[in-house]
Amino acid sequence: MDGNRELDGRVAVVTGAGRNIGRAIALALAAGGAAVVVNSRANLAEATAVAGEIEAAGGKALPVTADVADPAAVEKMVAAAVARFSRIDYLVNNAALRGEKRLPEMTHADWRKVLDVILDGAFHCVKACLPYLQKSGAGAIVNMGGLSSHTGSQHRAHVVAAKSGLVGLTRALAHDLAADNVTVNCVSPGLVATARAKDFVVPQHHAVHHTLSGRPGTPDDIAAVVRFLCGPGARFITGQVIQASGGAFIS
């Protein structure tokens, strides 16, 4: 928290960083001084644009496409990150799919596809980054959860289960990595105004839960919380879920 660049010399991997909250996280960590690996599943143009924004502001960034559901692709991404920046201090597991499907129509393939990205993807990224996080001396993993894993929601059994799984993964890894001084926390965003696909259906939990101010949050609101959790001000915080929801969910 001292000065403006508390993450100077550090390296962050942010998955799903081509747009919206992931992009804001990449920009926020870069503003804090970290070099950022900007991951997108397949959209190199988006990842390159975000990396370009970081570099234009004087930062360091590497755009990398990799499907986090594919462990070999994740290994390659991490190898590219280390080849370029020589270390990894922070991993932000942000990549996600958020489909809606009525339970009678939800197939096991639908279920697997979502869990493969959100939960298995986080596992693959942790495993691939692990040796570098352990060497960091002040490592941090931030898993991006979601409001619906606390409130439940219609037509999202796969997403809710996957995001709740991330909370469990957070608590488990907090124990596994404490001895290496790697903190593991989860940020749970509430209603955030992001660019959505044209066919986006407002999920039930958005319709039911409202922020106290009536205004949605911004990606920057969420990114600042991630930057805090990575930085020197949060070294005694581990195993926690931080709700950034404008009071939409008060536990």
Partner 1 sequence: MNTPFHLDDQVAIVTGSSRGIGRAIAETMAALGAKVVISSRKAEACEAVAREIQATGGEAAAVACNVSRKAEVEALVEATLSRFGRIDILVCNAAINPVFGPLRDLSDEAFDKVMGANVKSNLWLCNLVIPGMAARGGGSVVFVSSIAGLRGTDVIGMYGISKAADFALARNLAAEWGPHNVRVNCIAPGLIKTEFARALWENEDLLARRNAQTPLRRIGMPHEIGPVAAFLASGAASFITGQIIVADGGITAA
Binding residue for partner 1, selected from 27, 28, 92, 96, defined by CB under 8 A: 28
Residue 205 as a binder of partner 1 (CB under 8 A): the answer is: no
Residue 64 as a binder of partner 1 (CB under 8 A): the answer is: no
Binding residue for partner 1, selected from 143, 165, 217, 230, defined by CB under 8 A: 217
Residue 232 as a binder of partner 1 (CB under 8 A): the answer is: yes
**Token pair listed for 224:** 């600042």
| 50/237 Cα distance (integer angstroms) | 29
Residue 34 as a binder of partner 1 (CB under 8 A): the answer is: no
- CB of 7 closer than 8 Å to CB of 35: no
Q: In whole angstroms, what separates CA 214 from the centre of its chain? A: 25
The helix-helix angle for 157-178 and 108-115 (nearest 10°) equals 40
The piece of 65-73, 109-117, 149-157, 227-235 that touches partner 1 (CB under 8 A) is: 227-235
Burial of 240 (0-12, 13-18, 19+ CB in 10 A): middle
Residue 239 as a binder of partner 1 (CB under 8 A): the answer is: yes
Phi and psi torsions of 233, nearest 5°: -80, -10
Which one, of 15, 49, 36, lies nearest residue 128 by Cα?
15
Which is closer to partner 1, CB of 114 or CB of 242?
242
Which parts of 69-128 interact with partner 1 (CB under 8 A)?
none
Which is closer to partner 1, CB of 97 or CB of 167?
167
Residue 8 as a binder of partner 1 (CB under 8 A): the answer is: no
- Contact pattern from residue 144 through residue 173 relative to partner 1, giving x for each residue in contact according to CB under 8 A and a dash for the rest: ---------------------------x--
| 246/90 Cα distance (integer angstroms) | 26
Residue 24 as a binder of partner 1 (CB under 8 A): the answer is: no
Number of amino acids touching partner 1 (CB under 8 A): 47
Binding residue for partner 1, selected from 190, 196, 201, 203, defined by CB under 8 A: 190
Per CB under 8 A, residues contacting partner 1 are 1-4, 6, 28, 31-32, 171, 174-175, 178-179, 181, 189-190, 192, 211-214, 217-218, 220-222, 224-225, 227-228, 232-240, 242-247, 250-251
